[in-house]
Amino acid sequence: MRSTTLSVEAARCAAKRRLPPSVYGYIDGGKEAESTAIANEIAFSRVLFSPKVGTGITRPSIATTVLGREQSMPVIIAPTGFIRIVHADGELGVARAAAAVGVPVALSNVCSVPLRRVCEVHPDTWFQLYMLNGRDGVQQAMDLARQAGCRVLAVTVDVAATAPSDRVMRRLPSSLSLGSVLRFLPDALMRPRWLLNFLSGGLAMRAPNAPRKPDGSEYEFAEIGPLIVRTPPTWDDLAWIRRQWSGKLVLKGILRADDAERAAALGADAISVSNHGAKVLDGTPAALAVLPEVVDAVGQRLEVLLDGGVRRGADVVRACALGARAVFIGRAYLWGLAAEGETGVRDILELFRRGIIATLADLGCPSIEALDRTYLRPLPSQSHWNELGERLHLRLK
């Protein structure tokens, strides 16, 4: 049966109803006071359109090319760790939905499905990696990506420590230890439908795409967090990865023009302007607010992607008008996954497709490729952005 999801916000509400509170907090929450998470969403409302009338455009083209491959629209499924906890369809269901719509899927190396299986479902699978176990671990990850047939490696560069969240997730299960299960059990019993769905996918809580332990066994999900922050990548490490990886290379987590310049000099093929979905350092600016200066600095030398706060087709158009080649979507598809599994993800992508088309038509723009800043009002000053953000935050609370 087809989903009745009418909007991304409806999927968000459905996810909140269907998921245990700790699981919902895992996908929806940000770090500490979540000011950056709020800023990511509000930033799009500060960028106003300037439509051109009398163009007669009703069927604009939204197809584009990202890193040398054509795709149906400028959207990429963002990498998220262990999403089977959201729905048993997990990474394979998400990959099937992305393949059906014609957009890439980026798979986290902290997930529950072997990379090769996802690549069999969707040939345009990107592989995201952390610097787990230093260069030895990255070499294992690159070998895995090559063997699976991945053409794009996305290295996350913005995680050096972990911070607490005011939306505490202590009960979230990270292993099958008795203590972890007992802490999570009250949450799980609140959502029996979710519990049955989770159990249908099996009880494994391992990360098959992460480097192996010295004894050759797989790490459990609970063991990955400390590894992520133990050896964050340096610029020397990133230069080494560039030399070792002959495919397309994306550096994910850039928020400064000077770092973007270093990425271009390094030979990266693309960067993602991103604050890690507000899940790392609270108090950083919204990714969209940083996008124009990064595009101005390096947009002629590499492709600039955006990650953070994208909730609808109009947001995609705003980002592309500011110079993004494409955007990653994270929470939006996870809400769809929680609501309806694979079908929900496909419906969310369809909502984005229709929203992009409608926005371009109303702007009088013939294609996503023709977008530029002439379709936007002049950007507000930073002080005005802050004032408007405070007002919208109060209204949303």
DSSP letter string, 303-330: EEEEES---SHHHHHHHHHTT-SEEEE-
Structure confidence at residue 166 as a pLDDT band (50, 70, 90): low
What's the average model confidence in pLDDT over 36-42? 91
Query: Residue 395 pLDDT > 90, yes or no?
Result: no
Selected residue with higher pLDDT from 27 and 253: 253
Catalytic residue (one of 122, 276, 384, 393): 276
Q: What is the Cα–Cα distance from 122 to 212, expressed in whole angstroms?
A: 25
What pLDDT is attached to residue 342?
A: 97
Contacts 24+ apart (CB under 8 A), 53-61: 53/364, 54/364, 55/364, 55/366, 57/360, 57/361, 57/364, 57/365, 57/366, 58/361, 59/357, 59/361, 60/357, 60/360, 60/361, 60/365, 60/366, 60/367, 60/368, 61/366, 61/367, 61/368, 61/369
Structure confidence at residue 178 as a pLDDT band (50, 70, 90): very low
Query: Residue 159 pLDDT > 70, yes or no?
Result: yes
Mean pLDDT, all residues of the chain: 89
**Lowest-pLDDT range of 3-17, 159-173, 342-356:** 159-173
Query: Residue 51 pLDDT > 90, yes or no?
Result: yes
> For 267-319, how does the pLDDT look when each residue is reduced to its tens digit (9 = 90+)?
999 999 999 999 999 999 999 999 999 999 999 999 999 999 999 999 999 99
Query: Cα 91 to the chain's mean position, in Å?
Result: 13
Evaluate whether 130 touches 109 at the Cβ level (below 8 Å).
yes
DSSP letter (8 states) at residue 83: G
> For 147-157, how does the pLDDT look when each residue is reduced to its tens digit (9 = 90+)?
999 999 999 99
Structure confidence at residue 121 as a pLDDT band (50, 70, 90): very high
> For 195-220, how does the pLDDT look when each residue is reduced to its tens digit (9 = 90+)?
888 888 776 778 899 888 888 888 88
> Is 276 noted as a catalytic residue in this protein?
yes
What pLDDT is attached to residue 390?
A: 53
Selected residue with higher pLDDT from 27 and 257: 257
Domains identified in the chain and CATH numbers: 8-390 (3.20.20.70)
3-state secondary structure of 203: coil
Evaluate whether 386 touches 328 at the Cβ level (below 8 Å).
no
What pLDDT is attached to residue 1?
A: 41
| Beta-ladder partners of 251 | 155, 271
What pLDDT is attached to residue 384?
A: 54
Structure confidence at residue 223 as a pLDDT band (50, 70, 90): confident
